[in-house]
Amino acid sequence: GIAILDFGSQYSQLIARRVRELQVYCELFPWDAPAEQVMALRPQGFILSGGPASVYAPGAPQIPDYVLGSGRPILGICYGMQALAHALGGKVAPAPEREYGPAEIETQLPNPLLPMGRQRVWMSHGDRIEALPPGFEVLARSPNSPIAAMGDLTRHYYGVQFHPEVHHTPGGKDILRRFVVDICGATPDWTPTSIITQAVERIRAQVGSERALAAVSGGVDSSVAAALVQRAIGDQLVAVFVDTGLLRQGEREQVETTFRKTLGANLIVVDAAETFLNALKGVTDPEQKRRIIGETFIRVFEQEARRLGTIRFLVQGTIYPDVVESSAPDRSRAQRIKTHHNVGGLPADLSFELVEPLRYLFKDEVRLVGEALGLPPALVWRQPFPGPGLAVRCLGEVTAERLARLRAADAIFTSELEHAGLLQQRPGSEGESAVAQAFAVLLPVQSVGVMGDQRTYQDVVALRAVTTQDFMTAHWARLPDDLLERIANRIVNEVDGINRVVYDITSKPPATIEWE
């Protein structure tokens, strides 16, 4: 595989995703990770990420000696290039002008990394290379960067001042392919089929003839993790699905059908709706709701686990970004806006050994593996749904009656969107203007209406639909007027207790996608 050293760039994970998209296995390490840990991957080459520092600043991250001593090809990106130049005797200095945004580079010297001629790239840097290290040649220039790319074609050391990993560099994927495949000689064999084969072997080796327990929530990660383990050990897996009563219409049935009929898995459904409703009685504070739901889930799950007797292993759907985030170099921790939690995410102090078959997979890979395992597309490509479920979309008190109202309105909204072909099929796919997430929110507000000749005083439902790439920022979706009108009519006519529908036209930020 390829080892990517993270010097603190916001794009580091993106580099890893691009390399994986080339079907080449890679791992991301903090730049100062222990040499043994990185070399255990037996890297065929190294990619050094960008980063916010200046190489000549005191304490700036440097290229570790073992990397230069490995004899393997190196590609430095932005800061990675500067660190390479600095380490090998070149000169780095502040550029006369910061360069940020699109630029055009031109390659005049035939080389294995960059195609000849001009191409558009994305620049983002304040420093630049003033003098090449011995043995290097200029591979590309741009008007602002006389050394936009450099290479030592003998040692196979390369550096690019721009970012090949971002989509604003259209030829970037090809550059990365030339590096990992042509220069490093990595084989593109990281496919869903080979991922499954390897995972199955590893799970069998770990679990042996013991039993394993999995909590499935209906979400992508927990489902794919359970399906992989089921593929590996069959009926030694007990999958537990807790029906919290906070699910959307048809969700429980979908999980039952998928696991029992499609996969033939051993699935236990725990009907805990009453337990959750009792625990939530009288609670209106969003954070308190989340806390209560998290705690109740653990209690219900533990009780079920105890009933099943001693089970040694617990399956967790931890994915690679979670693993990487927890060891990333001092990237400032974002302020907590809400306590995100996933039903199915259990504390590690339960006395289980963990099976984490998705630990090295990105979300896109988890989905492809899910498809290859035969999970239904509706599950594999479903939009995000918060762990606390409808409780955080039922503003005010959560009661069975209010949940039923919300569920019915939500089903009308989403089925109309789906029918109109406006729901994005593949979340996160680039350049989509389709709706990435859409749902109804029941407000704790009544308003006056008139139906026939009768005055009504009933609940208000808000509709939320957003377009987004990453759910960190989002725009409200510009839905067609006539569609909104039909949805509003249907909700008011078909759902008892609702006499008004409003549409949420705030972006994130300043609003969040969910209302609680």
Q: Which range, of 45-53, 132-140, 258-266, 508-516, touches ligand XMP by CB under 6 A?
A: 508-516
Does 514 bind ligand XMP (CB under 6 A)? Our answer is yes
Smallest distance, ligand XMP to C-beta of residue 252, A: 18
Catalytic residue, from 99, 165, 365, 516: name it: 165
Contacts with ligand XMP, 382-401, as mask; x by CB under 6 A: --x-xxx-------------
Whichever of 165 and 243 has its CB closer to ligand XMP, that residue is 243
Whichever of 148 and 379 has its CB closer to ligand XMP, that residue is 379
Question: How many CB atoms are closer than 10 A to CB 221?
Answer: 23
Smallest distance, ligand XMP to C-beta of residue 509, A: 9
- Residue 157 neighbours by CB under 8 Å, 6+ apart: 73, 74, 76, 84, 88, 135, 136, 151
Q: State yes or no: is 163 an active-site residue.
A: yes
Smallest distance, ligand XMP to C-beta of residue 464, A: 9
C-alpha to C-alpha distance for 58 and 356, rounded to whole angstroms: 40
Q: Are 207 and 356 in contact (CB under 8 A)?
A: no
Does 342 bind ligand XMP (CB under 6 A)? Our answer is yes
Q: Are 393 and 515 in contact (CB under 8 A)?
A: yes
Q: Torsion-angle region of residue 401: left (phi > 0), alpha (psi -120 to 50) or beta?
A: alpha
Tokens of 350: 């339960």
Smallest distance, ligand XMP to C-beta of residue 307, A: 27
Whichever of 49 and 342 has its CB closer to ligand XMP, that residue is 342
Q: Which range, of 41-49, 224-232, 335-343, 448-456, touches ligand XMP by CB under 6 A?
A: 335-343
Handedness of CA 141, 146, 148, 151 (dihedral sign): positive
Whichever of 89 and 384 has its CB closer to ligand XMP, that residue is 384
C-alpha to C-alpha distance for 295 and 307, rounded to whole angstroms: 19
Q: State yes or no: is 371 an active-site residue.
A: no
Does 475 bind ligand XMP (CB under 6 A)? Our answer is no
Whichever of 55 and 465 has its CB closer to ligand XMP, that residue is 465
Tell me how many degrees the CA angle 392-394-395 measures, rounded to the nearest 5: 85
Whichever of 240 and 438 has its CB closer to ligand XMP, that residue is 438
C-alpha to C-alpha distance for 469 and 476, rounded to whole angstroms: 13
Smallest distance, ligand XMP to C-beta of residue 279, A: 17
DSSP structure class, residue 349: T
**Cα–Cα distances in Å, from 25 out to 190, 205, 337?**
6, 21, 34
Q: Which range, of 116-124, 339-347, 370-378, 449-457, touches ligand XMP by CB under 6 A?
A: 339-347
The residues pairing with 327 across neighbouring beta strands, listed in sequence order, are none
C-alpha to C-alpha distance for 79 and 77, rounded to whole angstroms: 6
Does 317 bind ligand XMP (CB under 6 A)? Our answer is no
The amino acid at 460: V
Tokens of 481: 């007027």
Of the residues 9, 258, 424, 437, which one makes contact with ligand XMP according to CB under 6 A: 437
Smallest distance, ligand XMP to C-beta of residue 512, A: 3
Helices (H), 281-362: 286-307, 320-325
Q: How many residues bind ligand XMP (CB under 6 A)?
A: 15
Q: State yes or no: is 26 an active-site residue.
A: no
Catalytic residue, from 27, 156, 163, 365: name it: 163
Catalytic residue, from 26, 27, 78, 184: name it: 78
Does 363 bind ligand XMP (CB under 6 A)? Our answer is no
Calculated CA dihedral for residues 210, 341, 288, 405, nearest 10 degrees: -100
Does 471 bind ligand XMP (CB under 6 A)? Our answer is yes
Helices (H), 208-272: 220-233, 251-256
Q: Are 77 and 165 in contact (CB under 8 A)?
A: yes
Does 340 bind ligand XMP (CB under 6 A)? Our answer is yes
Smallest distance, ligand XMP to C-beta of residue 473, A: 9
Q: Which range, of 63-71, 128-136, 180-188, 337-345, touches ligand XMP by CB under 6 A?
A: 337-345
C-alpha to C-alpha distance for 228 and 315, rounded to whole angstroms: 10
Whichever of 120 and 338 has its CB closer to ligand XMP, that residue is 338
Q: How many residues make up the chain in this entry?
A: 516
Whichever of 8 and 219 has its CB closer to ligand XMP, that residue is 219
Residues annotated catalytic, as ranges:
78, 163, 165
Residues that bind ligand XMP (CB under 6 A): 337-338, 340-342, 384, 386-388, 437, 471, 508, 512-514
